[in-house]
Structure 1
């Protein structure tokens, strides 16, 4: 029979030591965390900049995401444009999602629908204007030429730069939807198909670049020379094109809500973007964030006890820290024997008593639960509360791996050691 001294000596062996483990939360890059855009209501929202932007020999470009479509809408909304002797825009979109090329006073009107834009998808628009009074005007949609004009002279001039509407005896042509990354350049940037950049950059040819990352207030300031759009009427701030981290034209939140992209850690970023930003988050390269992988595996062979069985450790519930419903069960033990479930930070394989000690402290310590007694079937159950660890250094966090085992007495005559072990479980906890 196991002596009290022996039992206490093993329990002391499992008692927590003074070693402390500090878990540092790894910073995860969040695509578009500071990326914003302007969302106009199509009724009264607009912006005006009191600086004259270049038109001849220039490129005007922006990202847009049209709002909820109104099939009956026919009025063209101006995305960007100029107000001067001629008030015009390089491209415009109706409330029904119809994309047109230039329009306005003194401009080569495009009355042909270039494309029907689906709601809630981002699109890149660009217009290039040739040199002084050059007839060369080209409009690009998502990097592909959509419209071209090459007849007669075109000599526009500008006093002011406008956003989401135009002014001619009052404000008209209100655009409905989001606008982001407006860049105006002193050069013809595109002469053929190209791949649009989600976030424009400043270079020697940039006259102005508005990222619209302010996220609040009634002004948007350009990155080059501080050109300011004063914002008026019905507008709000929203997530920008930078929140489409996988570049499929659909905002991340919509990808996640429809199930097109997984967001297992709930950080608002598709998992594939997390991994692209930091490949170490998916060490086994299986496309799933390691912090979200709930992995359980048995290891370390257990030895038969006086019941004729070898005790096996199983688990119930999940190994999700958020769900917090994990339980451990040891089966195949002798009935009505004392036992202790315990865990540690590393695996082991050390002959001990009539079995094998499969867990060691590692960089942490041993952590044990309250003693239990096996039932008449030789089983023992332990329900874990991950929110209340027995010791702070034994806190179980997502993406942490711990090793669990069950120690039990075996007081049947002929068992000189008086105790044995189950096999063990290696558990990688997930979010």
Structure 2
């Protein structure tokens, strides 16, 4: 029920309060408004994000993004199409066949152990691990994630026995008993000096998003072409069963090793907002190719402020939903600012962003 101004409160003051509430909501939403679009160029050390996880000139520990010494969870949102990522299905099991999919996250080491990666093959997610002399294992999802929609992906690994899990949109799709032990990048690791069409110093000691890090053969080991957002690396197993994917960007906690919102919106730096001890694990954006990528986009997995019906466009339909629900309390899609009341503030938000995404 709508409550009129009382106790001397003026209509102007009420409108002013609602205006401030609306502007605050929009300001918060603005910080959540970007993703990265990769184009799968797969050459020249471009069209990717690179995060250094080791310095080959010393034996010092790497930054927190160098996960693998403990249990870990890697999760992110992605969007793509089969036309842009046409790699064939791979054989899953005791092998390293994840490298033949369109590679999304690459923590490989050329012809050396202690490595892992995530790709898409035949439209299905693939997660592979190679231990320290303990063999290799690859698990594969079942859902086609290359349907042009955003999907939440999570993979996990338990260090003690190497057990691996793969979730798509909160549903467990694959699991298996992989190689156990430490798979973090060795602090005394020496990259191959001749394997990567040159020295691997520029590829091995990096965590790479959106590309096959070595650029060895773009046809045999293709890179991902599509959108990536909200990458979180954790030092724990986040999920013990099916779960509801997040509806907003992650907030860091004590188990967050690195967190990339991709909300810089411009420039060539990707910031780690985890606050992890020993960090931050900032990354660099390597731009180039044809088409040139990665590029910043406002296409994100989270609903645009004011987009009440979730169709990606703030239009008449959203405005009407707020008007028809005006005064409603509790949970309601028209409660744009989530204060449990559909009121002036929600109406103002829709009006301010009217036409966005259309």
Does 1:60 find its partner at 2:106? no
Report the counterpart of residue 280 of structure 2 in structure 1: 226
The alpha carbon displacement at 1:63 in A equals 2.7
Does 1:263 find its partner at 2:318? yes
Report the counterpart of residue 48 of structure 1 in structure 2: 50
Gapped regions of structure 1 (runs ≥ 5): 1-20, 284-288, 294-321, 323-431
Q: C-alpha offsets along residues 32-67 of structure 1, whole Å, 9 cap, x if unaligned?
A: 322111111122421111125111433233332323
TM-score if structure 2 supplies the norm length? 0.60
CA distance in 2, matches of 1:167, 1:71: 19
The alpha carbon displacement at 1:154 in A equals 5.8
Does 1:239 find its partner at 2:289? no
CA distance in 2, matches of 1:72, 1:206: 30
The alpha carbon displacement at 1:157 in A equals 3.3
Equivalence map 1:405-420=2 (5 Å): none
8 A contact 1:79–1:89 mirrored in 2: no
Aligned mate of 2:336, from 261, 275, 296? 275
Aligned mate of 1:91, from 112, 118, 121? 118
8 A contact 1:183–1:210 mirrored in 2: yes
Report the counterpart of residue 165 of structure 1 in structure 2: 211
Relative to structure 1, the CA distance from residue 222 to residue 265 in structure 2 (aligned partners, 3 Å threshold; closer, same or farther) is: farther
CA distance in 2, matches of 1:180, 1:166: 18
CA distance in 2, matches of 1:71, 1:178: 11
The alpha carbon displacement at 1:151 in A equals 4.9
> Which structure has the highest strand share of the two?
1
CA distance in 2, matches of 1:166, 1:154: 24
**Secondary structure of the corresponding residue to residue 64 of structure 1:** strand
The alpha carbon displacement at 1:266 in A equals 12
8 A contact 2:321–2:334 mirrored in 1: no
The alpha carbon displacement at 1:68 in A equals 3.6
Report the counterpart of residue 175 of structure 1 in structure 2: 224
8 A contact 1:245–1:273 mirrored in 2: no
Does 1:78 find its partner at 2:80? no
8 A contact 1:38–1:179 mirrored in 2: yes
CA distance in 1, matches of 2:281, 2:308: 30
Which structure would you say has the larger RCO, counting Cα contacts within 8 Å and 6 or more residues apart?
Answer: 2
Report the counterpart of residue 140 of structure 1 in structure 2: 167
Report the counterpart of residue 213 of structure 1 in structure 2: 263
Gapped regions of structure 2 (runs ≥ 5): 1-11, 54-61, 88-99, 186-204, 323-331
CA distance in 2, matches of 1:200, 1:292: 23
Relative to structure 1, the CA distance from residue 116 to residue 70 in structure 2 (aligned partners, 3 Å threshold; closer, same or farther) is: same
CA distance in 1, matches of 2:299, 2:153: 15
Report the counterpart of residue 128 of structure 2 in structure 1: 102
The alpha carbon displacement at 1:290 in A equals 5.8
**Secondary structure of the corresponding residue to residue 82 of structure 2:** coil
CA distance in 1, matches of 2:83, 2:272: 32
Q: C-alpha offsets along residues 318-362 of structure 1, whole Å, 9 cap, x if unaligned?
A: xxxx9xxxxxxxxxxxxxxxxxxxxxxxxxxxxxxxxxxxxxxxx
Report the counterpart of residue 360 of structure 1 in structure 2: none
8 A contact 2:129–2:178 mirrored in 1: no
**Secondary structure of the corresponding residue to residue 29 of structure 2:** coil
CA distance in 1, matches of 2:270, 2:162: 32
Relative to structure 1, the CA distance from residue 147 to residue 279 in structure 2 (aligned partners, 3 Å threshold; closer, same or farther) is: same
Relative to structure 1, the CA distance from residue 239 to residue 254 in structure 2 (aligned partners, 3 Å threshold; closer, same or farther) is: farther
8 A contact 2:304–2:312 mirrored in 1: no
CA distance in 2, matches of 1:67, 1:207: 26
Relative to structure 1, the CA distance from residue 231 to residue 82 in structure 2 (aligned partners, 3 Å threshold; closer, same or farther) is: same
Q: CA RMSD in A?
A: 4.0
CA distance in 2, matches of 1:109, 1:231: 28
Relative to structure 1, the CA distance from residue 242 to residue 71 in structure 2 (aligned partners, 3 Å threshold; closer, same or farther) is: closer
Does 1:203 find its partner at 2:239? no
Report the counterpart of residue 189 of structure 1 in structure 2: 238
8 A contact 1:128–1:139 mirrored in 2: yes
